[in-house]
Structure 1
Amino acid sequence: MAPQSLSLTRRGLLAASMAAGAIAALPGALHAAADNTAIRPFRVAVPKEDLADLRRRLAATRWPDQETVADRSQGVRLAAMKELVQRWRTDYDWRKAEGKLNAHPQFLTAIDGLDIHFLHVRSRHPDALPLIITHGWPGSVFELLKTIGPLTDPTAHGGRAEDAFHLVIPSLPGFGFSGKPTGTGWAPDRIARAWAVLMERLGYRRYVAQGGDWGAPVSHALARQAPPGLLGIHVNLPAAVPPEIAAALGAGGPVPADLSDKERAAYDALDTFFKKNRAYSVMMATRPQTIGYALTDSPVGLAAWMYDYNGGEPERLLAKDDFLDDVTLYWLTNSAASAARLYWENGPRGIIVASAQKTADIALPVAVTVFPGEIYQAPESWARRAYRNLVHFHEVDRGGHFAAWEEPDLFSAELRAAFRPLR
């Protein structure tokens, strides 16, 4: 089958082509083109007109007046945003970002009526374990690219051949190069069912799953559904908040008096997040279309919305070009509104509270890594209450919410350790 070659524009046309040799990366699961389950090669090729349009819009930015405080309590500071946009407009090179994606085999396949974009990178080690990893918001497949080497070729990154993985990294529906749902219903449970179809379509009969941010509820849903072949999951944003803590946070109930030091620290971090840093989530969960107008029309508005996430984590823990790769992807694929709808689909329950994700229904093995810069540092006592089959719990000394992006080697080492008993 010859690779397809189309073009990507912000009006929704997606490109699909790749070098002929990449098709061999599939484990015997390539279907005929006439079949609606076909796996079609994909390559990113953004027209230069779209990049010129972005630069024109950046140059014509209408700036707000400066904040009236000396900190970021009113949001992203004007000086920080002007510095970022100056780099975006004059020095940033999207073609390098394209190169990062096109360096790996990419594909499209239709599942439940929607095109799903995914990277599929097979290890050279014959006994590698298949692993599907799900990104979050405001992330994308970009946040996982740095883990591909350490996970597929561990011997080149301080690991052992027997710890290798075959990687499947899909773009969530409505994100990046995946299709945009035209109807409702694409919540984590449905996405998880699609991921199970994807792994079966690729020919994998034994595999594991991982996720942070939105990838965590998708992985939780997979574990609850327990499709044939799924051995276990790893999450780095666990849904480990006990009911009495959730009640205190959500309804202003009394804080339990018998919390340990770690439990109290976790409660305080959650309290701060819910009071000060959760506005983005509430807005997208209730008015994704409204916020979509602003984010779709203004690249600076989109960048500021994403830059402010989690108390400004992109500023603290990511290089500027890493962040610009991600925000440019959202801009070029016009996916601000379609990505925001995932919050609306999930409703006001959020992605942290255990009761919302039904963790008690998970019988499969669950592994948890706690990163110090995460929204909250889940205590082991809470994690053991949330997951009845917790097989790995480890607190590491660096990394934040985008752990795979920020600390790819550490993140990969955690996955090797977590899944070693399940091989």
Structure 2
Amino acid sequence: MKSISFPFLYLCTLTAASSVASGNHGLYDVRPFTISLSDGVPRMLERIRDTELPDAISQYPGNEAGISLETLKAFRNQWLVDFDWFKEEESLNRYHHFTAKIENLDVHFIHEKSNEPDAIPLILYHGWPGSFLEFIPLIKKLTQKAKTSTGKHVSFDVIVPSLPGFAFSSAPGANWTVDDSARVFNTLMTKVLGYKAYAVHGTDWGTGVAWGQFDGFNTSARAAHFAMLPFLPLTPEQLEAQNITLNAPLEQFEEQRYVDWSATGSGYFIEEGSKPNDIGLVLYDNPMGQLVWIGEKYIEWSDPKAGTSPSVLTHNEILRIISLYYLTKSILTSGYIYFQNPLGQTGFRYNYTRARTDAPMLFSAFKYNVHYWPRALAETVGNLVLYRNHDFGGHFPGLDNPPALIEDIREIGSYWE
């Protein structure tokens, strides 16, 4: 990782950019950070070019058995001909990136401050196979002054970290859980950046981190917006047993998506939860393999209209995501989050419990997500003040439907005290 290490230059950068709140910067070795992965691009392109693929798959030419060969070849051609990592890197470096050392972890994060003095500090958590990239479309607009549905003005200081083991954040030791990450990022928000109170947003594994703060650090995490919950969704039979009826066609469709994912789409979860080294080492120096393993999730878990407005999940965006995984060599360490957080324990839990806080909780569902929690279920785990269900979007709403996610997150301002 390239970073600026001179304290005087760091202080000058903070003054000029006004990007980091007052905190204990020296104690946590906070440094501006510049993305510089260009040295790995020639090898990545060479590996893409030299990967041999079959001419055809006669038995299952479509996508019923996984990503289609036709789709894979189209992605490879775009990767080699049209995709430009150098351009993507330049674009990403327009944001204020930093690293901090917390509990012997190098933690990467973006910190973009609003010009409004009463801006709400907000930290956004991704999951797997996500990254900080999925929140790029949200950052600028969330820092700008806007109105909530109740007429209140709201803006945010936006913090977007890379989870431990992802992208530019170092990998933690063994037995690291999402609750450990919650503790580290609470330190980032309160001690490093100096915020007394903040709001959280989480999706996928980031939901577990956000929940760990919402539930466990409830004096500082004073509002939460979720696009998923850290509990295993319920089957139709389990919903019926709890007298929860899904009447709307949208709800029934979303529940069926979860049923289908459980039956035919969750094999990766078992593999990474039991033998992460096997798949991680196979894919480590294999960008085309990473495209198959990760790209298929972006295709299958997103709205079929992905790439058309309001979605920004284009093929170029998927290639940027895969390139980040490959160039940061994080495909192996990112997968450990499944192994370190067993299903039913610190991972997605079987037993629904209510958060130990009175802080407001907001929830957004998106039609093509592969997990679904109806309002009646979400109400059991927190002080639910807002529930919205969108008929466009999927598992990665920051890319699949950024305007809706921005609008929903802004509603935190209606309940912030």
* Fold shared by both chains (TM-score > 0.5): yes
| SS of match in other structure, 1:347 | coil
Give the deviation of 1:365 after TM superposition.
2.3
Q: Compared with structure 1, are the counterparts of its residues 45 and 23 closer, same or farther at alpha carbon in structure 2 (3 Å cutoff)?
A: same
Aligned to 1:411, which of 405, 408, 413? 405
8 Å CA contact 1:307–1:313 kept in 2: the answer is no
Give the deviation of 1:66 after TM superposition.
3.6
Aligned to 2:310: none
The size of the alignment, in residue pairs, is 399
Aligned to 2:163, which of 162, 167, 172? 172
Aligned to 2:73, which of 82, 96, 104? 82
- Superposed, 1:265-414 pairs within 5 Å as 265-309=253-297, 312-313=300-301, 316=304, 317=306, 318-349=313-344, 355=350, 358-359=353-354, 361=356, 363-385=358-380, 387-414=381-408
| SS of match in other structure, 2:3 | coil
Give the deviation of 1:180 after TM superposition.
1.6
| 1:28 aligned onto 2:16 | no
Give the deviation of 1:384 after TM superposition.
1.5
Structure-1-length-normalised TM-score: 0.86
Give the deviation of 1:310 after TM superposition.
6.2
| 1:138 aligned onto 2:129 | yes
- For residue 411 of structure 1, what is the amino acid of its counterpart? L
Higher mean alpha-carbon deviation, 374-383 vs 198-207, is at 374-383
Instruction: Name the CA distance, whole Å, in 2 between partners of 1:121 and 1:160.
Output: 24
Aligned to 1:5: none
Instruction: Name the CA distance, whole Å, in 1 between partners of 2:56 and 2:357.
Output: 49
Aligned to 1:53, which of 40, 43, 51? 43
Q: Compared with structure 1, are the counterparts of its residues 257 and 160 closer, same or farther at alpha carbon in structure 2 (3 Å cutoff)?
A: closer
- For residue 411 of structure 2, what is the amino acid of its counterpart? A
8 Å CA contact 1:223–1:230 kept in 2: the answer is yes
CA RMSD of aligned residues (A): 2.9
| SS of match in other structure, 1:75 | coil
8 Å CA contact 1:134–1:169 kept in 2: the answer is yes
| 1:234 aligned onto 2:232 | no
Give the deviation of 1:396 after TM superposition.
2.2
8 Å CA contact 1:266–1:377 kept in 2: the answer is yes
| SS of match in other structure, 1:232 | strand
Give the deviation of 1:26 after TM superposition.
1.7
8 Å CA contact 2:365–2:389 kept in 1: the answer is yes
| SS of match in other structure, 2:223 | strand
Q: Compared with structure 1, are the counterparts of its residues 352 and 264 closer, same or farther at alpha carbon in structure 2 (3 Å cutoff)?
A: farther
Give the deviation of 1:126 after TM superposition.
1.2
For structure 2, the residue ranges without an aligned partner over 5 or more in a row are 307-312
Instruction: Name the CA distance, whole Å, in 1 between partners of 2:244 and 2:138.
Output: 40
Instruction: Name the CA distance, whole Å, in 1 between partners of 2:93 and 2:378.
Output: 38
| 1:44 aligned onto 2:39 | no
Aligned to 2:414: 420
Aligned to 1:97: 88
8 Å CA contact 2:30–2:98 kept in 1: the answer is yes
Instruction: Name the CA distance, whole Å, in 2 between partners of 1:127 and 1:357.
Output: 35
8 Å CA contact 1:154–1:160 kept in 2: the answer is no
Give the deviation of 1:139 after TM superposition.
1.1
Give the deviation of 1:222 after TM superposition.
1.1
Give the deviation of 1:269 after TM superposition.
2.4
User: What CA deviation, in whole Å up to 9, does each residue of 1:234-289 have, x standing for no partner?
Assistant: 1001346577x49869xxxx988974335654543222111111111111111110
Instruction: Name the CA distance, whole Å, in 1 between partners of 2:345 and 2:293.
Output: 18
| SS of match in other structure, 1:308 | helix
Q: Compared with structure 1, are the counterparts of its residues 45 and 239 closer, same or farther at alpha carbon in structure 2 (3 Å cutoff)?
A: closer
Give the deviation of 1:122 after TM superposition.
0.4
Structure-2-length-normalised TM-score: 0.87
| 1:213 aligned onto 2:204 | yes
8 Å CA contact 2:152–2:413 kept in 1: the answer is no
